[in-house]
Chains A and B, each alone.
Chain A
Amino acid sequence: MKQIIRITVGLTISCLIAALVMGSVFVITDKAKRHNEHVNVQQTMLGLLGYSTSHPAPPELKLYSIYRYIFTDGNVNTLGYVLPVLKGGGVGYQLMEMDLDGGFVAQHPLDLAPEDASESAERSAALRKAIKPPKTFSYADATIVAKLGEKRLAYLLPGEFPGFKTFIHVMLALDPSFEILGLEITEQEEDPGLGAEIKQDYFKNQFKGKSFKKIKELHVVKEPLPEEYKAYLESQKGKESPIPKAELDVIRSRYQDRDIYALTGATISSKAVTDGVKNMVAKFAYRINRLDKVISARNIPAVF
């Protein structure tokens, strides 16, 4: 009996100590983790917008996130946008509910601090306070609007779609006329040497500069990538390039409206990325127009 007590006490104490250690480490590291993640995402975005350490972003560049939710009340679905708005000189958040045809439904203030907005748990908590119980919500996606001063510089769309093996996660940058500014593959597990080549410059930079019109009918062609085009694609990112600038422009104009050249031996991955991007752009363009309409009609003080 005495032994059992000793064992129990010993185990309890060691568990407590372990929990204490882990708990404190969690508390210490959690902030750093979030910060680092945030920085990481930020860097990807800035990279897509053409900024780098040698060419830093101007201070007036601001990134605002819009989160889209789907509300369900019985059989009725509505869209809920968590929008950054002007609030007492700073930035606050507001929930705007829209019906499926783009009509305005309701508008709720949200108790959400800007620094917490990127946390899904915090947002859920705020949303739970704002909407009444029979209505449920589920997260759909996020969009980031980059603003330089008063001007919208770009939209940044994180997204994912099924690739050859697993889901491919990307970040897409569009200019206000929905021309592609850049594509970054953030996560993929395609075959090394084949599908994994989608993260190579010569593939993903093909998307750069495609106009909205072209994107709608973008195809994948199973043809070898022309040498000069490949050289051009790899010369991006502000690196010194052996090709003179004038020639680059010639090449760009020559291939501007061409389809996407498939990766050799990885047509499926190439097609997956192309279709995924096409889809993302089409949906986004449709939604942002409706959202803008409602915002201007209702005079919502959105910051983006």
Chain B
Amino acid sequence: MNIVIRKCLLAAVLTVLAAFLTTGCATEHRFIKKTAFKDTNQIVIEFAGPVDEAWAKNPSHYSVYEKPDPDIKLKIQTITLSPDRKTVALTFADPLNQNQPHVLTATGITSEGKSLGTAILSVKKVYLGYLFSILIGAMIINNFVFTKYLGLCVFFGTSQKKSTAVGMGITFTIVIVVSAMMAWFLYQFVLRPYRLNFLQIVVFIGLVSLSVQAVDTILRKVNPMLFKAFGVYLVLVIANCIIIAVPLILADNEYNALESLMLALGAGLGFLIALFLMSSVRERLELARVPPTYRGLPIAFVVAGLFALAFLGFSGMSIF
């Protein structure tokens, strides 16, 4: 059982790593290493080599605008160059709206007297960070169970024992990632282009059943031991509204593939965390002298309410 869990976790971690690695590869200009926001009103450009001070200190060589507003150039107040002449910090008159990607154009970059041409760069919040914030957001801050109140039937049904809860959580995470990715592809490449949005409910529920069936079959063939451990939960997964809610949210928010993956993973892991916490608490409640009218589900609801009160502490949190 333990090995099974460890294997699953390992697989999940590897998937996440792979996803992160592939995103980090995109480069924009060979001479510019990195651009990033700093403070509320700064953009920092890191060059691969030293740039000429005369070029760097001239504000007219830069133009910066928010992506949807190419006509409105942002006013650069001061420019500072680091002693090694590799880093330029542009300070703007007004605070930047860092939620928007900014487009930075650096014309005629000169380094040691040599002109290196013009670079157009997009400055945005670290994408990895953004992905990470989607993951953490779905997992903890906007936990689907405690702050979005979804998936409750299964949540209360399978949180009585810790082992059941963990099994359910893992199974659920796998299925939701599989079905959400399938749903995303179908939505992006079939439903949306052909304006069949109204079919999304039917399509998504069909996909969920399909992926449950697929996981069931594959598991049964590939790893019967794993199937024995988790097979019983597969039937329950389909009655969980999170699994249908995630594709719907993906469709509403127009996430890209990676973001969708993060959201689905976050939703699944968040459900796992919620189940784990709830089950460990309920195992203790089993022993408590709960008033008879509250025994069983009612007290579980009250405890979930207390959880939700505690999770209010996360309200308004934005990590990146």
A: which residues have CB within 8 A of B? 18-19, 22, 26, 70, 75, 77, 79, 98, 100-102, 121, 140-141, 161-162, 164-165, 191, 268, 279, 283, 286-287, 290
Name the interface residues of B86-115: CB closer than 8 Å to any CB of A: 97, 99
A18 touches B316 (CB 8 A): no
A268–B318 CA distance with the chains assembled, in angstroms: 13
Task: Select from chain A the residue with minimum beta-carbon distance to B95.
Answer: A275
Q: Which of A22, A98, A162, A290 contacts B198 (CB 8 A)?
A: A22
Answer yes or no: B68 CB below 8 A from chain A CBs.
yes
Name the interface residues of B107-150: CB closer than 8 Å to any CB of A: 118, 120
B120 touches A100 (CB 8 A): no
From B43-51, B69-77, B160-168, B209-217, the one touching the partner chain is B69-77
A19–B315 CA distance with the chains assembled, in angstroms: 41
A164–B317 CA distance with the chains assembled, in angstroms: 9
User: Binding site of A, secondary structure by majority: helix, strand, loop or mixed?
Assistant: mixed
A162–B198 CA distance with the chains assembled, in angstroms: 29
Evaluate whether A77 and B70 lie within 8 angstroms (CB atoms) in the complex, with A18-B202, A165-B316, A191-B316 already known.
Answer: yes
B97 touches A279 (CB 8 A): yes
A191 to chain B, nearest CB (A): 6
Cβ contacts under 8 Å, A165 to chain B: 315-316
A22–B201 CA distance with the chains assembled, in angstroms: 11
Task: Select from chain A the residue with minimum beta-carbon distance to B198.
Answer: A26
A259 to chain B, nearest CB (A): 17
Q: A70-B68, A283-B72 are in contact. List 9 more A-B contacts (CB 8 A).
A: A18-B202, A22-B199, A98-B71, A100-B71, A140-B68, A164-B316, A165-B315, A268-B316, A286-B72
Instruction: Show 11 A/B contacts (Cβ-Cβ < 8 Å), sorted by A.
Output: A19-B199, A70-B68, A75-B118, A75-B120, A79-B71, A100-B70, A162-B99, A268-B316, A283-B69, A286-B71, A286-B72
Interface residues on B, range: 10 to 19
Cβ contacts under 8 Å, A162 to chain B: 99
Task: Select from chain B the residue with minimum beta-carbon distance to A165.
Answer: B316
A102 touches B71 (CB 8 A): yes
Answer yes or no: B30 CB below 8 A from chain A CBs.
no
B: which residues have CB within 8 A of A? 68-72, 97, 99, 118, 120, 195, 198-199, 202, 315-316
Task: Select from chain A the residue with minimum beta-carbon distance to B66.
Answer: A283
A94–B69 CA distance with the chains assembled, in angstroms: 21
Question: Of residues B70, B120, B198, which shows the largest number of chain A Cβ atoms within 10 Å of its Cβ?
Answer: B70
B68 touches A141 (CB 8 A): yes
Evaluate whether A287 and B71 lie within 8 angstroms (CB atoms) in the complex, with A18-B202, A22-B202 already known.
Answer: yes
Q: Which of B70, B99, B195, B199 contacts A70 (CB 8 A)?
A: B70
Cβ contacts under 8 Å, B316 to chain A: 164-165, 191, 268
Cβ contacts under 8 Å, B202 to chain A: 18, 22
B188 to chain A, nearest CB (A): 16
Cβ contacts under 8 Å, A98 to chain B: 71
Task: Select from chain A the residue with minimum beta-carbon distance to B118.
Answer: A75
B250 to chain A, nearest CB (A): 16
A201 to chain B, nearest CB (A): 24
B155 to chain A, nearest CB (A): 23
Task: Select from chain A the residue with minimum beta-carbon distance to B73.
Answer: A100
A74 to chain B, nearest CB (A): 10
Cβ contacts under 8 Å, B315 to chain A: 165, 191
CB-based closest 4 A-B pairs: A77-B70, A26-B198, A100-B71, A140-B68
A169 to chain B, nearest CB (A): 14
Cβ contacts under 8 Å, A100 to chain B: 70-71
Task: Select from chain B the residue with minimum beta-carbon distance to A268.
Answer: B316
A286–B65 CA distance with the chains assembled, in angstroms: 14
Task: Select from chain B the residue with minimum beta-carbon distance to A76.
Answer: B70
Task: Select from chain B the residue with minimum beta-carbon distance to A72.
Answer: B70
Task: Select from chain B the residue with minimum beta-carbon distance to A101.
Answer: B71
Cβ contacts under 8 Å, A22 to chain B: 198-199, 202
A79 touches B70 (CB 8 A): yes
B71 to chain A, nearest CB (A): 5
B86 to chain A, nearest CB (A): 25
